[in-house]
Amino acid sequence: MLLDILTPAKHEFLEHCHRIRGLSQNTVDAYEQDIMSFAVFARTRLHLQQLDSQAVLAYLDYLRRERNLKPATVRRRMVTLRAFATWLRKAGQVEHDPFAGLEIDLRPPRRLPRPVEWIDVQTMLKADCNVEAGAPAPHREPPMLSSTTAMAIKLMVATGVRVGELTRIKLSDISNDGFRIRINGKGSKERTVYIGNRVLRAELQNIKRQTHPTVQDDRYLLLNKHRRRLTEQALRRRLRLLAAACNLDTPVTPHRFRHSAATFLIEGGVDIRFVQRLLGHSSIATTEIYTRVSDTALMQAVDDADTLGRMLSEFT
């Protein structure tokens, strides 16, 4: 029965991903969620006796038609199943590759990234929003644009770090001059990001100065009101509440700030290869999408050039 191999194998596969492949905990958690989705499907399809092409196609139809999931979600779950099936085959628990011979188009629709606009970033950083909009007085939130939230926004815009990377920055990761930050990225890959803004560098230096050197190895940069590490979920909530209080029209998420960082850098003339390194993209093809959204720089360049205007001026 299909379910018989899923439960015991799932834990071994996730352990393999974490210990051997060095995948981040977030990725492993996503894999676990995807495998659980397949297990829920298998529980309702008792006629499927093994993980074969029939099971794969039935699961694909289940995701698309019964669950009506977005193409990107369907793709992720099928990619996870394929990785799981490959591991099962190598472990001798599945005889044949269930994806062999299948022609499945899992390409999601090409969507341009949606950055937080420049003016919206300015609005959030200048915000005088001290309470959650609409909250009763006794249950009001502490100031939403705290120094911690402001620091998070500035770092996301300046460096494009992922939210998981940002919330795990320790003071020991920051150079004494505040110019370099060591980032532990996806797949345990380490990289360095650089702070080009002097004011932000001074803020980072000041935080390090105020903390005893013996404490810096363990102290996180972003702390909540209980002086513990600010979690990814808490930061997302802060940004959501701040955006609502500032009456912004579009959703604000940490990943959209990552898009902002890439777009602003490319519009500022930074070489795409440098942007690739800063963001930690393994392939430059991932970074190249930002060259298609730099309309602001294109419009400014065309306006400055005004080739038609220069040509017509010769006739006057």
Which residues have a catalytic role annotated? 162, 186, 255, 258, 281, 290
Instruction: Compute the distance between CA of residue 192 and CA of residue 219 in angstroms, rounded to an integer.
Output: 19
Dihedral, CA of residue 34, residue 231, residue 123 and residue 296, to nearest 10: -40
Phi, psi of 180 (to 5 degrees): -125, 140
What DSSP designation does 219 have? -
Neighbouring CB atoms inside 10 A of 295's CB total 11
Torsions phi, psi for 229 (to 5 deg): -60, 130
Among 232, 257, 248, CA closest to 127? 248
Structure-block tokens of residue 287: 């970074």
Virtual CA dihedral for 55, 58, 62, 66, nearest 10 degrees? -140
Query: Rounded to whole angstroms, how far apart are CA atoms 290 and 267?
Result: 9
Inter-CA distances, 192 with 169, 199, 240, 262, Å: 12, 19, 28, 16
Residue 217 · residue 174 · CB < 8 Å: no
Question: CB within 8 A of 37, min separation 6: which ones?
Answer: 63, 77
Torsion sign (Cα): 25, 29, 30, 34: positive
Angle CA(76)–CA(78)–CA(83) in degrees, nearest 5? 95
Per the document, the length of the chain is 316
Residue 98 identity: P
> Would you call 182 helix, strand, or coil by DSSP?
strand
Rounded Cα distance between 3 and 21, Å, is 25
